[in-house]
């Protein structure tokens, strides 16, 4: 009780700091050379490019860039993570000023911003010359038709992180298919430890979408060359099958449906409540940053379970890019920053070791160093070689809608309604299809 209270007090304090940090960070950005930077500018006479990004340990990457470039310097600000940053960016697009020159965006929101003419097509600035340096899947995510709206940075090929100790205690073999996964879930429940095999968050957003994609779901088609056309098919059979599968597990109490990314969820991830963390390649870094971990935990990584073991499908959850904004005055220099800041092995060494990022940058992916990297958190397992490199190589890219945030919010509502027992998965996706089609029509799209 006391320790719980202390934890909650601590968490409140942290959240308070985070909140105030977010609200005071709004003034950053702007294209003026006088903008305040978090980092030290090495060459004060050079042109400065303002950058918003939230990567951990990013300052070292920025320093690396500034030390190796004489004519352009990066001025970096952390304007918040994910939606916090997007809200600020969106507001500055509307007001016509205040956006940075270069901005970190997840690939899923690129078309939401490109449709508002907020991003520069980087093909004019030689983006296609470096196309070969990135995995095809990540390049596909960052481009729309012939246009390239961002330079990929990191990706989230998915794998399965699991608790070897809990598996052994319950006598569970590592599942390679979803069928085996369901059996394992039953075994773990029968062992009566009180934990569950995994969690199925209704607010998983890109996570849920990735699970659908593994069964062949292609929810959206969109090409920025024809910005008023959008194809919506969120209720195809693949997605419905996936939902039916998870709904079955939920109904049998084999998995929980806690909201993801809350303090409760974070603790459940590391204290043994969930024996499996279906994760992207950035997941190990996320796990290591969590407190209250079970000290005896033995974590291992394995490939994501498959629907058809003979024809494995690799999927991706998350992943981010650097885009150049239309508000940038010096677009050429901004493009240099976007292309080169994570364009060297040195930068990527920092990215891999300190930020726990999974590169979309092929030279790093193909290096002996990366493949053989041993992770102490996984007892020295070479998780890249064992799991994630293959997952990254098999990923073919996805297309996101120009109203992805709305689509995800609606998906969350429908999934929540499903796990509450108000409707089945098939109905949930049919409703989603109807809602999104109506929304897109209201927004002036021609829906195919």
Partner 1 sequence: MALTTTSPRTAPPQPSVSRKVGVDKIDRKRQRWGWLFVGPFALVFLGFLIVPLAYAFWMSLQTSTLAAGTQFTWFANYGKAFTDPIFLEGLGRVGRFAIVMIPAQMLVALAAAMVLDNLTTVLSKFSRLMIFVPYAVPGVIGALMWGFLYSPRFGPGSDIFSLFGLDAPSFLSQDNIFGALVNIVTWQWSGYYMIIIYAALRGVDSSVYEAARLDGANSWQIALRVKLPMISSSMVMVLIFSLIGTLQFFTEPQVLRAVAQGAIPVSYTPNMYAYSLAFSYSQFNYASAISFSLGIVVFIGSYLFLFLTRKQNGLK
Residues that bind partner 1 in the complex, under the rule CB under 8 A: 1, 4-5, 7-8, 11-12, 15-16, 19, 83, 87, 90-91, 93-94, 112, 115-116, 202-203, 227-228, 259, 262-264, 267-268, 402-403, 405-406, 409, 412-413, 415-416, 419-420, 442-446
**Minimum distance from CB of 400 to partner 1 (Å)?**
14
Distance CA 442, CA 248 (A): 35
**Minimum distance from CB of 201 to partner 1 (Å)?**
9
Q: Among residues 46 and 260, whose Cβ is nearest to partner 1? A: 260
Count of CA atoms in the C-beta half-sphere (13 A) of 441? 8
**Minimum distance from CB of 446 to partner 1 (Å)?**
8
Q: What are the DSSP calls for 335-350, one per residue? A: HHHHHHTT-SHHHHHH
Structure tokens at 217: 């779901």
Q: Among residues 289 and 421, whose Cβ is nearest to partner 1? A: 421
Q: Among residues 8 and 221, whose Cβ is nearest to partner 1? A: 8
Q: Among residues 165 and 413, whose Cβ is nearest to partner 1? A: 413
**Minimum distance from CB of 228 to partner 1 (Å)?**
4
Q: Among residues 113 and 125, whose Cβ is nearest to partner 1? A: 113
**Minimum distance from CB of 128 to partner 1 (Å)?**
27
Give the Cα-Cα-Cα angle 294, 299, 301 (nearest 5 degrees): 155
Strand ranges inside 107-199, DSSP E: 143-144, 147-148, 151-163, 198-199
All residues at 6 or more sequence positions from 341 whose CB lies less than 8 Å from its CB, including other chains: 51, 61, 62, 65, 74, 102, 322, 347
The gap from C-alpha 201 to its chain's centroid, in whole angstroms, comes to 15
**Minimum distance from CB of 171 to partner 1 (Å)?**
28
Cβ contact 264:258 at 8 Å? yes
- A 10 A CB-CB count for 332 gives 13
Distance CA 99, CA 93 (A): 7
For residue 275, give the nearest of 142, 161, 163, 183 by alpha carbon.
Answer: 163
Is the torsion defined by CA of 419, 214, 266, 297 positive or negative? positive
**Minimum distance from CB of 11 to partner 1 (Å)?**
6
**Residues belonging to the chain:** 448
**Minimum distance from CB of 1 to partner 1 (Å)?**
5
Q: Among residues 342 and 400, whose Cβ is nearest to partner 1? A: 400
Q: Among residues 138 and 273, whose Cβ is nearest to partner 1? A: 273
Q: Among residues 380 and 444, whose Cβ is nearest to partner 1? A: 444
Residue with tokens 């920053």: 337
């Amino acid at each position: 009780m006391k320790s719980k209270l202390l934890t909650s007090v601590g968490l409140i304090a942290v959240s308070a700091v985070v909140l105030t940090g977010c609200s005071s960070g709004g003034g950053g950005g702007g294209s003026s050379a006088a903008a305040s930077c978090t980092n030290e500018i090495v060459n004060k006479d050079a042109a400065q490019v303002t950058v918003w990004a939230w990567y951990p340990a990013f300052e070292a990457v920025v320093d690396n860039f500034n030390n190796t470039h004489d004519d352009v310097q990066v001025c970096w600000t952390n304007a918040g993570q994910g939606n916090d940053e997007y809200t600020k960016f969106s507001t500055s697009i509307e007001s016509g000023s205040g956006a940075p020159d270069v901005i970190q965006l997840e690939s899923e929101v690129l078309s939401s911003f490109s449709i508002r003419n907020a991003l520069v097509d980087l093909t004019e600035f030689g983006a296609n010359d470096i196309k070969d340096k990135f995995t095809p899947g990540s390049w596909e995510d960052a481009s729309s038709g012939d246009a390239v709206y961002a330079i990929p940075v990191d990706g989230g090929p998915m794998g399965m992180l699991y608790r070897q100790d809990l598996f052994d205690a319950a006598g569970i073999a590592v599942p390679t298919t979803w069928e085996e996964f369901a059996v394992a879930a039953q075994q773990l429940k029968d062992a009566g430890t009180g934990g569950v095999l995994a969690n199925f968050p209704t607010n998983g957003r890109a996570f849920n979408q990735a699970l659908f994609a593994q069964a062949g779901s292609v929810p959206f088609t969109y090409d920025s060359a024809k910005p008023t056309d959008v194809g919506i098919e969120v209720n195809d059979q693949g997605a419905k099958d996936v939902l039916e599968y998870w709904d079955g597990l939920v109904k049998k109490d084999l998995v929980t449906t806690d909201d993801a990314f809350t303090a409760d969820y974070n603790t459940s991830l590391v204290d043994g409540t969930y024996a499996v963390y279906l994760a992207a390649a950035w997941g190990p870094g996320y796990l290591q940053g969590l407190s209250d971990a079970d000290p005896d935990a033995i974590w291992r990584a394995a490939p994501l379970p498959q629907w058809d073991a003979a024809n494995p499908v690799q999927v991706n959850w998350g992943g981010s890019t650097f885009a150049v904004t239309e508000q940038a005055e010096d677009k050429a220099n901004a493009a240099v920053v976007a292309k080169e800041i994570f364009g060297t092995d040195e930068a990527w060494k920092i990215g891999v070791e300190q930020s726990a990022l999974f590169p979309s940058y092929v030279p790093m992916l193909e290096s002996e160093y990366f493949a053989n990297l041993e992770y102490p958190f996984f007892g020295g397992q070479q998780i890249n070689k064992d799991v994630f490199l293959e997952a990254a190589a098999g990923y073919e890219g996805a297309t996101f809608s120009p109203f992805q945030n709305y689509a995800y919010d609606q998906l969350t509502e429908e999934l929540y309604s499903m796990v509450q027992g108000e409707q089945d998965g098939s109905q949930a996706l049919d409703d989603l299809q109807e809602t999104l089609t109506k929304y897109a029509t209201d927004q002036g799209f021609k829906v195919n």
